[in-house]
Amino acid sequence: MKRDNNKIFKQLRNEYGSFIFEKFSVSTENDSVIVVSDFWIDDKFHFSPTLTIPNNRFISNELSVDDLQTLAFHLGMIELISYWKAICPKKIIVKPYKLNRDQINWWKRLYFNGLGEFFYTNGITAEQNDFVEIISESDKEFPRIELSFNEKVLVPVGGGKDSIVTLELLKNDFEIIPLILNPRKATTDTVEVAGFGKDAFFRIQRTIDPLLLELNANGFLNGHTPFSALLAFVTLFASAMTGAGHIALSNESSANEPTESDSGVNHQYSKSYEFEKDFRGYVAKYISNEINYFSFLRPLSELQIASLFSGFKKYHPVFRSCNAGSKTDSWCGKCPKCLFTAIILSPFIDKQDIIKIFDKDILDDDSLLPVLNELTGTTPVKPFECVGTVDEVNAAIAYAIGRNGDLPALFEEYKRSKVYEIYKNVKFSELLNDFNTEHFLSDKFEKVILKWVNLKMKISVGGD
């Protein structure tokens, strides 16, 4: 029998009254900064997630106690949502610092939009006005950060093609500090291939409280939380410690498209322009107006990024975007992310090279037809993954069909569809020379991107 998660949601909210952000601590151990957040659900469940920042050669600022407290408090505020969602109490009580009405509304909006996929996939009925009440119990306001910042650029590296493109486009014009949260082989290999040295990155380790995993295993509520929002607050800590005044994310314009169009739910909400704008505003108003958080790739689409990435062949053996295979440094070859990556690269990389990347002919796997239909918009809901827009996927397939004679099974099936008739005459070159002006790039960063787009962009179609 299928679980009624909406019913479970209501039962849990009746059984448990409050989620309490009790306190946090910041300590130094073996030259590492360790942040521990303490959360309670009533007096029943206690969580203590940790974030560890090892001392390293990139640290240049000596943070005051006030600086550390402000940064650690905000880490707790974003971390708590991963624990709240297991039981979803009606109240979140914040004890360490005071939140004014504007701040409470900001956090409530972030939590609700960031949990959009969680509510949708669990069939939970929730409204932004009443899904939770945030109560601030402290009279003490957190202090603003008063630090000096330089022109260095922090670049979070996730091991996929997007952050690789950001590294390659920026590294010759700016002093870069790669940042890796919970390093794995694909991320450290990426940094090494980029020429920074195997250990030349700012390392941060996040540890999930095992009780949360135990609750998940025992049938409590589970689902997607806004990881990129957590990463945003983590990068603030790194920015303050290194003095790097710029934080360059690799979120593209395609991330703005809702995963489910009717509800507006977006798997990539915390990668969207909307979140980026809100986050920049909050940081400038309440934390520091000297930190420039922005997405360097926002003017570009997934198609354009794939075109650029296709020319960076030294990364093709090491990059990984598959969540299912992240622990084994592999492509599972079955998930929407794997199929999307193969599709978006297909106009720019030859068939044999794509097979080499995935260690299989993923485009010839007809068992993936249902996933293809989700990606192309044949079904009403896109995969809940970080994938491109419906238009981009269709344009990539239609163009790849036009440049290949012997088609793989999925493309043969697509060619017989009505969707192909719509997209087969799309002007592909225009898509590759587009430039989204809704971004936060300053002139010096915009100039770097403009080297690669419009009339200045040299597209290598076909893997030449």
Provide the pLDDT confidence category of residue 380 given band limits of 50, 70 and 90. confident
Q: Average of pLDDT values for 194-205? A: 91
Q: What is the mean pLDDT of the segment spanning 308-335? A: 93
Least-confidence region, from 59-63, 205-209, 332-336, 389-393: 59-63
Answer yes or no: is pLDDT of 463 > 90: no
Query: Would you place residue 461 in the very low, low, confident or very high pLDDT band (cuts 50, 70, 90)?
Result: very low
Instruction: Give the pLDDT confidence score for residue 454 in this predicted structure.
Output: 59
Query: Region 340-357: what's the mean pLDDT?
Result: 95
Residue 387 has pLDDT above 70, yes or no: yes
Mean pLDDT of all residues in 302-307: 94
Q: What is the pLDDT of residue 464?
A: 33
Specify the pLDDT at position 199.
81
> What share of the chain in percent tops pLDDT 70?
97
Report the distance separating Cα 4 and Cα 18, nearest Å: 23
Phi-psi domain of 219 (left: phi exceeds 0; alpha: psi -120 through 50; beta: other):
left
62-78 pLDDT, tens per residue? 889 999 999 999 999 99
Q: How far is CA 5 from CA 112, 123, 222, in A?
A: 17, 6, 10
Does residue 166 surpass a pLDDT of 80? yes
pLDDT of residue 56: 73
Residue 360 pLDDT greater than 80, yes or no:
yes
Tell me the C-alpha distance between 214 and 212, whole Å.
5
Query: Residue 449 in contact with residue 300, Cβ under 8 Å?
Result: yes
The model's pTM is 0.95
Provide the residue ranges of all domains of the chain, joining segments of one domain with +. Answer: 5-141+148-158+176-295, 318-456
Least confident stretch, 221-225, 237-241, 403-407, 415-419: 403-407
Mean pLDDT, all residues of the chain: 93
| Largest separation between any pair of C-alpha atoms in the chain | 70
- pLDDT band for position 317 (50/70/90)? very high
Determine which of 150-164, 393-407, 438-452 has the lowest per-residue pLDDT on average: 393-407
d(CA 451, CA 141): 45
CA separation, residue 151 to residues 57, 268, 285, 457 (Å): 17, 29, 21, 26
Tell which residue, 81, 91, 77, 93, has the closest CA to residue 119.
81
Average pLDDT over residues 156-176: 96
Give CA separation, 43 vs 16, 86, 333, 392, 459, in Å.
Answer: 9, 15, 44, 50, 60
pLDDT of residue 1: 62
Tokens 């084994």 label which residue? Answer: 328
Higher pLDDT, 406 or 405: 406
For residue range 114-147, what is the model confidence (pLDDT) as tens digits? Answer: 999 999 999 999 999 999 999 999 999 999 999 9
pLDDT(265) > 80? yes
Q: Indicate whether 397 pLDDT > 80.
A: yes
- Amino acid found at 136: S
Q: Determine the residue type at 312.
A: F
The pLDDT of residue 460 is 40
- CB burial readout 395-417, b (16+ within 10 A) else e: bbbbbbbeebeebbbbbeebeeb
pLDDT band at 429 (very low <50, low <70, confident <90, very high): confident
Q: How many residues does the chain have?
A: 464
Q: Is it the case that residue 394 has pLDDT exceeding 50?
A: yes
pLDDT at 325: 87
Read off the pLDDT band of 376 (50, 70, 90): very high
Read out DSSP for 115-140?
THHHHHHTT----TTTS-EEEE---P
Instruction: Judge residue 438's burial from the number of C-beta atoms within 10 Å of its C-beta, 0-12 exposed, 13-18 middle, 19 or more buried.
Output: exposed
- The stretch 301-322 carries a mean pLDDT of 95
Tokens of 178: 């790669």
**Percentage of the chain exceeding pLDDT 90:** 83
pLDDT band at 109 (very low <50, low <70, confident <90, very high): very high
Query: Within 10 Å of residue 264's Cβ, how many Cβ atoms?
Result: 12
pLDDT band at 162 (very low <50, low <70, confident <90, very high): very high
Q: Give backbone dihedrals phi and psi of 93, rounded to 5 degrees, phi first.
A: -105, 120
Predicted confidence band of residue 459 (pLDDT cuts 50, 70, 90): very low
